[in-house]
Structure 1
Amino acid sequence: MRDSFVDTTTTLLAQEPRTALVLADISAALFTAAAERHPDRVLNVGIREQLMLGVAGGLALTGLRPIVHSYAPFLVERAYEQIKLDLDHQAARAVLVSIGASFDRASAGRTHLSPADVALVDTLSGWTVHVPGHPDEVPGLLRTTVAADGSAYLRLSTLSNGRPYPGDGDLVLVRDAGAGAALLVAVGPTLDAALAATEGLPVTVAYTHRPRPFDTAGLRTLADNEVILVEPYLAGTSARVVAAALADRPHRLLALGVGREELRRYGSAEDHLRWHGLDPAGLRRSVTGFLTPAAADRTPTPAMLGQYV
């Protein structure tokens, strides 16, 4: 996903004179040629993430459209006050693009883990959040986001689904298990694991790469009375949105994601998926435990198994 982001941003800098890029050393070497061609619009402030956001706010106030890039914990957590004040408070709009996701660089330790980034951005008002599930989703999302006027956060990962699902982020029906089935909403790169985990279960699976604004209309269309959220960041981040959208209906909600307890382990991204129960086996345990006994024990029919779209 980072390679796709670099290529698309380099092209945008050449095609759109309003586009600017602000870095804090991370990925700077990948933009060397772009910086030489556009020295006034590609700015590397060094290891000063708070300054990076302040500079982006200033560029936005001059009429430029800044893209701000770093690892998620440096971009969102370390510089959150500057996002709140130098961007939001000043009505200065920017596009934040992170790498590292929740635990992509787990081998680098706790400093590089950021499962709470989307929850932090969610405390702000009016932000669009995209969590691509495949590298091929990145160019279109980045171009559309840069062309817009609002503030946005694109969360890139080394984890990926097997195929892209283009679109604006409205819920995409991937597997239809028929009437009365539970609805599972998979965000970003969690989709393949969710599909594997629910194979043969009475669970309809939908996908989105845009948790904010959440497609509440699509949710209301697809949901019956049981909803399962699978998000690749802090568990429960979108629970309030789903609960509000279905407030007029009796429903049960299971919110799966990265746990709040610090594991104090290194390992790989795949290890952390397993430890947090986000691998297919862990998700299946959670889903089958959540489903009512009648639904869990029911023999799947072809309608329940559904079709891939």
Structure 2
Amino acid sequence: MDTMRDRFAPVVSRILDEDPRVAVVLAEIGLVPFLEAQRRHPDRVINVGIREQLLVGAGAGLALAGMRPVLHTFASFLVERPFEQVKLDFGHQGLGGVLVSAGASYDVSGGGFTHMAPGDVALLDTLDGWSVQVPGHPDEAEVLLRQAIGAGDERVYVRLSVQANREALPVDGQHLLTVREGRRGVVVAVGPLLDQVLAATEGLDVSVLYATTVRPFDAAGLRRAVGASAADVVLVEPYLAGTSTGAANDALADVPHRVLGLGVGRRELRRYGSVDEHVAAHGLDAASLRERISGFLDVGVPGVPA
């Protein structure tokens, strides 16, 4: 199966052919797949070199000129390094654009901590007006990319990852999807962690919801899944643990509830290892998730250890 990032350049190149308002801004990373599109549209595929602050500033300048800019590099260089430019050039000026990251939390683990960005969504959460899309499959990435680029002048962050679920689901860029129904709690799986969550909750009497759109958070969808009684909710996110616990708490403010946020821990792992090793180290593999989810919800399969 190709990766989400494999889909990115072909999809956006087709959009460049279709929509003269769209422009792509790169900072050296990801340039090669766009060389043919750059030949066709030399004024709308722009490489600023390894200058991430300029990447964001140039994108905002294109937005000021009425264009729909698409900015791309690794998440640590797109959100964290030029955060002031994201905050001021887009947010303070009220401009729209699409930030598309690669690398996720630790996809480029061999690059060291400079190439890891588990805090990107939490950081954007400090700003107003950003939608955040976290696809879990290349087909979903294609759908969400097209929606993001075609979303008028909104500010959208699309987080791509090499981690992916086996099958795509019919995501709509707005709502939580109910994948499994149960009575003893609700588990929300975000993006590429759905397969791990489904394996972890196999046989447990819990509902599993799937989220690819995490901002704005589908509060109404969570409320419907929980119902009117007391609720226990577990959020499993592929970035900083607890990033969406506040949103879930707000959604359930008038219902007695408990929320557990699982995700990437704050402790820096200095033995960088592989993606799978990072998944296990942060307790996001199926076996670890099963233990943590069943312990919090106090559920299990009769005769089977939790």
Shorter-chain TM-score range: over 0.9
Comparing 67-76 with 199-208, greater Cα deviation is found at 199-208
Matched to 2:95, the amino acid is: A
Distance in 2 (alpha carbons) for counterparts of 1:133 and 1:183: 19
Instruction: Report the secondary structure of 1:9's partner residue.
Output: helix
What is the match of residue 245 of structure 1? 251
Superposition pairs for residues 53-64 of structure 1, below 5 Å?
A: 53-64=56-67
Q: Structure 2 residue aligned with 1:231, among 230, 237, 260?
A: 237
Distance in 1 (alpha carbons) for counterparts of 2:11 and 2:216: 24
Residue 147, structure 1, aligned to residue 142, structure 2: no
When normalised by structure 2's length, the TM-score is: 0.94
Q: Structure 1 residue aligned with 2:178, among 161, 173, 198?
A: 173
Distance in 2 (alpha carbons) for counterparts of 1:160 and 1:264: 24
Distance in 2 (alpha carbons) for counterparts of 1:52 and 1:193: 35
Residue 25, structure 1, aligned to residue 28, structure 2: yes
What is the match of residue 288 of structure 2? 282
Consecutive aligned runs of 4 or more in structure 1 exceeding 6 Å deviation? none
How far apart are 1:263 and its partner, in Å?
1.5
Gaps of 5+ in 2: none
How far apart are 1:130 and its partner, in Å?
0.3
What is the match of residue 221 of structure 2? 218
Residue 124, structure 1, aligned to residue 130, structure 2: no
CA contact (8 A) 2:25 2:70 kept: yes
Deviations 1:89-137 (A, max 9, x none): 1112110000000000101111111000000111111111000000001
Identity %: 54
When normalised by structure 1's length, the TM-score is: 0.94
Superposition pairs for residues 73-88 of structure 1, below 5 Å?
A: 73-88=76-91
Distance in 2 (alpha carbons) for counterparts of 1:175 and 1:267: 33
How far apart are 1:181 and its partner, in Å?
2.0
Superposition pairs for residues 5-16 of structure 1, below 5 Å?
A: 5-16=8-19
Q: Structure 1 residue aligned with 2:187, among 169, 184, 188?
A: 184
CA contact (8 A) 2:13 2:34 kept: yes
Matched to 1:59, the amino acid is: L
Instruction: Report the secondary structure of 1:124's partner residue.
Output: coil
CA contact (8 A) 2:133 2:213 kept: yes
Superposition pairs for residues 91-130 of structure 1, below 5 Å?
A: 91-130=94-133
CA contact (8 A) 2:204 2:301 kept: no
CA contact (8 A) 2:184 2:297 kept: no
How far apart are 1:248 and its partner, in Å?
0.5
Distance in 1 (alpha carbons) for counterparts of 2:259 and 2:282: 18
Residue 164, structure 1, aligned to residue 168, structure 2: yes
How far apart are 1:297 and its partner, in Å?
6.6
Q: Structure 2 residue aligned with 1:2, among 1, 5, 25?
A: 5
Instruction: Report the secondary structure of 2:213's partner residue.
Output: coil
Instruction: Report the secondary structure of 1:193's partner residue.
Output: helix
